[in-house]
Structure 1
Amino acid sequence: MSKQDNRTAVLDSAHIGDIRGALGTIRHNDTAARHGWMAKFKTLLAILGPGLIVMVGDNDAGAFSTYAQAGQNYGTSLLWTLALLIPVLYVNQEMVLRLGAVTGVGHARLILERFGKFWGAFSAIDLFLLNALTIVTEFIGISLGMDFLGVPKIIGVGLAAVFIMLSASTGDFRRFERFSLILVAGSLLLVPILVMVHPPMTQVAHDFLLPQMPAGGKLADVMLLIIGIVGTTVAPWQLFFQQSYLIDKRITPRFISYERADLWLGIALVVIGAVAMIAFTAQVFIGHPEFGNFQDAGAVANGLAKYYGRLPGTLFAVALIDASIIGAMAVSLSTAYALGDVLSLKHSLHRKPGDAKGFYAMYCGLIVLAAALVLIPGVPLGLLTNAVQTLAGVLLPSATVFLLLLCNDKDVLGPWVNGRFFNVLSAIIVAVLVLLSIILTAAVVFPDMSGESISNILIGGSVIGLIIAIVVNVLHAREEMEKGQVPHHKARKMDLHHMHSWRMPPLDQLPPLVLSQRNKLWMAVLRGYLVVAMGMVIYKVVASML
């Protein structure tokens, strides 16, 4: 271990060493520059994994249900939400990958150390509860897919649970990543279904690029679904998973550019899969009695088989099982990583189960619990799936706020802190996410609110958020100039070698984070509002059951 490594905050010694990715190896002492496209390509192959897995893992059972509901109930009119989410996906996950590569410390531990026990516990509890429910939805997806294929529920769910536990319990990081990338490739099964169903691609492109509200349908239901799309496409667990998984893969700052490419590939696969599901589901059911009457993903497979033949239905069921398995693996790992980080337990896929008992016990325990709940008769599976995605959309703004504050913490990221453009863009994203939550609450309280009112809230709120973000960053830049500091977005370009070698010092050497009264107030207001918004979502879900 080098002197630089001895001064870093890496919490588990297994997180330092050779990068042994699914598609290549980079030695720990390999610091040579990459010259030529072949050398860079081999490096990219070795780095590939975290971005692909976290993105495709988010196109899970909940995503299948949410996207299929959007297509079956409203056609392709909500495709535009996916286009708007692309910058959100990149900005959030790019900040996370920087935090992981530079700090060597998981997201939950950073929140605990920098914001205190209260906020750390609040975030950990949010993550644990939401992840536990999310894993249940993954096994719902497995159950629905197996049912279409004629596999008894108890056998299909049981075998999948054992399979998921064994995949991560070998003590071989490379083996786990190779298995995960096979599942990532399985997500491409949605493409041949799109080709077989062949929806009008001109209409698909139009609805993807031009925002609109679907004609017909209750406003509260439409807004609940839109926020569900946000929640299933940009879920809080992604932040915790990618940061910890990237650390476990031993990726350091010098490979951040390659990891960004990995992330963009993952985003491309997510968008392709989501667009395909909404488009072919709309085409399958339009003009038939099932249009506007979504049940669950299993009914979508049956609809494909009914109107387009057994093959596309089978491919959809297999893709659903594949997505549910990778989703269950990633969500369970994000929880085990986070709790291991906070509780200072050994937490690495490089370790055998006997060498990290707590880590693997949490991972397997969540899988067993979720599988057992799915097998209980009478559980409202479809309603639970949609409720989880909506809750994720409501909780996401608070997670993004902590992420933004951490990425502006100079003691944590040093020369890698956010530039001004990233801060403005992130502030706009947070504002839009909060606006969606506000609209959800208003739609529940005032179900007859017009679509014009919604548009006015979105446009007006976005403009106000943009103005506030610009003013705050201009004032911050003026303060830097008055203090004689070089703006950080320029300082980052000065010394590439310094940036590649800089790592966060040990946590006990960091000076305490001093939050301004303004930041404390805004954080308290945000949390208070989220409690109200979550209450409204729960009310809406309960009302739907009656």
Structure 2
Amino acid sequence: MGVKSTPRAHVFRVLWGRLKEHPLSKLGPGLITGVADDDPSGIATYSQAGAQFGLNMLWTMPLTFPLMAAVQLMCANLGRVTGKGLAANIKTAFSPNVLRGVVLLLLIANTLNIAADVAAMGEVAELVSGVNRHFMTAVFVFGTLALQMFVPYHRYVFFLKWLTLSLLAYAAVLFTVHIPWEQVALHTVWPQFTVNASAAAVVVALFGTTISPYLFFWQTSEEVEDMQSPPHSAPLNQDSGSALKELRRIRWDTWSGMLYSNLTAYFIILATAVTLNVAGVTDINTAAQAASALRPLAGDFAYLLFALGILGVGMIGVPVLAGSGAYALSEALGWNEGLERKVRDARGFYGIIAISVLAALAIQYSPISPMKALFWSAVINGVVAVPLMAVIIILVSKKSVMGDFTVSRPLRVLGWIATAVMSAAAVAMFVPG
């Protein structure tokens, strides 16, 4: 006799089936990449921009959206066409020194980012639950590590997609505060601030946390992961039959994911501008500090929404940061890599993930302040992204790499504009005010 299904088990199976058929589950790496961009360190950077400059940094998000989407779309195409991650493609087309330099800088920036993210998550969890922040930080670190190591990618990615809904918390915050929409529209297209080293540093940080190197590696590799998950498919340069459908999917997934990301960043800058800046709070070091500062100004509901959003996106951002570094180093060294593989089949890959998050945890107990590293890690990313974007544009323009699927001229132009804008901002940061 078979085991009779309980009513509760039947309900769970029906619910699970409906969730798997939901349109959200059909979206791919672009959505997760976009949401990972608004990790706790990104939230702190956006909050600092709003607190320090009010509405006058809103213009950065409409500007970065097409530039960010263009770069990420090139990365996604590179992975889907070649069947290889970004580091593996750099390895075949450039000097080993280029790859070593890029991967080293990526690992340093990612570890600082993870340290800042888990510290902010622990602090927020303590604010919301009253449980000690160091304990909660350890829970988040070991929880995300266990999920990455022991849950296959095709299952793990399903939950990551649903976690992306946590970004809606920042749109909801706007309903709890007064918004002077005419002023918002005016300052978005006509900002008023003094151009000096301080403003340039914030602009570089905003660009650096929005157009980030770890996102380049992650989305490229996740296109490869999706190909290797059931049902398996071949790279487009080997099987062009599905090219039209796949490239259309990638365009929709990437543009919509980056729009979701940038709209959220815009809302965070706006929410902190109309609350913190108006109240004279102009120095924000952490996302948790921004949530706490909102409480007396916008009320408990806004505070809770902001705090829960930090925890939700942190659960996406930390795995993406750790995973992107692991993909990059594993591809550079020729190791087995991929979240679909079991730990015993990719020990080096999972070892890098473990070292990254455990080193980030160790920083919480060292003289190094993850809070101070948080803002400047975004600045470092802004500087590092410049040569890396140039490398990506060159790769996706080469027929020897992309075959018949080299990216279009308009996309390359957007990529070069992004590179030029970030180069100018990085130079401006070092010019005395």
Q: TM-score range by the shorter chain?
A: 0.7 to 0.9
Counterpart in 1 of 2:4? none
SS at match of 1:375: coil
1:229 to partner: Cα distance? 0.1
SS at match of 1:360: helix
Counterpart in 2 of 1:259? 250
Partner Cα separation in structure 2 for residue 414 and residue 287 of structure 1: 54
Say if 2:113 is the partner of 1:134: yes
Counterpart in 2 of 1:432? 421
2:154 to 174, 184, 189: 174
Partner Cα separation in structure 2 for residue 155 and residue 403 of structure 1: 40
1:75 to 54, 57, 62: 54
Say if 2:146 is the partner of 1:146: no
Structure 2 matches for 1:68-467, cutoff 5 A?
68-149=47-128, 150-208=130-188, 210-214=189-193, 219-250=196-227, 252-253=235-236, 254=242, 255-290=246-281, 292-376=282-366, 378-442=367-431, 446-447=432-433
Counterpart in 1 of 2:6? none
Partner Cα separation in structure 2 for residue 46 and residue 72 of structure 1: 36
Partner Cα separation in structure 1 for residue 99 and residue 370 of structure 2: 31
1:101 to partner: Cα distance? 0.4
Say if 2:34 is the partner of 1:55: yes
Partner Cα separation in structure 2 for residue 127 and residue 23 of structure 1: 35
Counterpart in 1 of 2:10? none
Where do 5+ consecutive residues of structure 1 fail to align?
1-21, 26-41, 448-546
Q: Do the aligned residues in 1 keep the contact of 2:55 with 2:191 (CA within 8 Å)?
A: no
1:54 to partner: Cα distance? 0.7
Counterpart in 1 of 2:15? none
Partner Cα separation in structure 1 for residue 133 and residue 335 of structure 2: 35
Partner Cα separation in structure 1 for residue 270 and residue 290 of structure 2: 13
Q: Do the aligned residues in 1 keep the contact of 2:198 with 2:429 (CA within 8 Å)?
A: no
State, as a whole percentage, how many aligned pairs show the same letter: 26
Identify if the C-alpha distance between structure 1 residues 72 and 242 changes in structure 2 by more than 3 Å, giving closer, same or farther.
same
SS at match of 2:430: helix
Q: Do the aligned residues in 2 keep the contact of 1:97 with 1:256 (CA within 8 Å)?
A: no
Identify if the C-alpha distance between structure 1 residues 47 and 414 changes in structure 2 by more than 3 Å, giving closer, same or farther.
farther
Letter in 2 for 1:225: V
Partner Cα separation in structure 2 for residue 285 and residue 185 of structure 1: 25
Q: Do the aligned residues in 1 keep the contact of 2:285 with 2:372 (CA within 8 Å)?
A: no
Where do 5+ consecutive residues of structure 2 fail to align?
1-17, 228-232, 237-241
1:45 to partner: Cα distance? 5.9
Query: CA-to-partner distance for each residue in 1:26-78, whole Å, 9 max, x for gaps?
Result: xxxxxxxxxxxxxxxx9x76651200111110101111111101111111111
Query: CA-to-partner distance for each residue in 1:426-448, whole Å, 9 max, x for gaps?
Result: 22322222111121122xxx32x
Partner Cα separation in structure 2 for residue 130 and residue 303 of structure 1: 27
Name which of structure 1's ranges 325-334 and 416-425 shifts more when overlaid on structure 2: 416-425
Query: CA-to-partner distance for each residue in 1:181-223, whole Å, 9 max, x for gaps?
Result: 1221112111111111232223223322x142426xx821111
Identify if the C-alpha distance between structure 1 residues 213 and 379 changes in structure 2 by more than 3 Å, giving closer, same or farther.
farther
Q: Do the aligned residues in 1 keep the contact of 2:67 with 2:417 (CA within 8 Å)?
A: no
Identify if the C-alpha distance between structure 1 residues 299 and 428 changes in structure 2 by more than 3 Å, giving closer, same or farther.
closer
Q: Do the aligned residues in 2 keep the contact of 1:144 with 1:297 (CA within 8 Å)?
A: no
Moved over 6 A (4+): none
Letter in 2 for 1:115: F
Letter in 1 for 2:116: T
Letter in 1 for 2:304: T
Partner Cα separation in structure 2 for residue 202 and residue 168 of structure 1: 45
1:412 to partner: Cα distance? 0.7
SS at match of 1:105: coil
Q: Do the aligned residues in 2 keep the contact of 1:74 with 1:282 (CA within 8 Å)?
A: yes
Query: CA-to-partner distance for each residue in 1:105-163, whole Å, 9 max, x for gaps?
Result: 11112112211211111111121111111211211221231232222112110110111
Identify which of structures 1 and 2 has the higher relative contact order when contacts are C-alpha pairs closer than 8 Å and 6+ apart: 2
Identify if the C-alpha distance between structure 1 residues 113 and 56 changes in structure 2 by more than 3 Å, giving closer, same or farther.
same
Q: Do the aligned residues in 2 keep the contact of 1:109 with 1:341 (CA within 8 Å)?
A: yes
Partner Cα separation in structure 1 for residue 348 and residue 371 of structure 2: 32
Q: Do the aligned residues in 1 keep the contact of 2:53 with 2:277 (CA within 8 Å)?
A: no
Name the count of aligned residue pairs: 402
Identify if the C-alpha distance between structure 1 residues 368 and 295 changes in structure 2 by more than 3 Å, giving closer, same or farther.
closer
Letter in 1 for 2:398: D
Q: Do the aligned residues in 2 keep the contact of 1:154 with 1:375 (CA within 8 Å)?
A: no
Partner Cα separation in structure 2 for residue 103 and residue 54 of structure 1: 20
Q: Do the aligned residues in 2 keep the contact of 1:109 with 1:120 (CA within 8 Å)?
A: no
Give the structure with higher Rg (CA).
Answer: 1
SS at match of 1:350: coil
Identify if the C-alpha distance between structure 1 residues 413 and 65 changes in structure 2 by more than 3 Å, giving closer, same or farther.
same
Letter in 2 for 1:396: A
Q: Do the aligned residues in 2 keep the contact of 1:76 with 1:279 (CA within 8 Å)?
A: yes
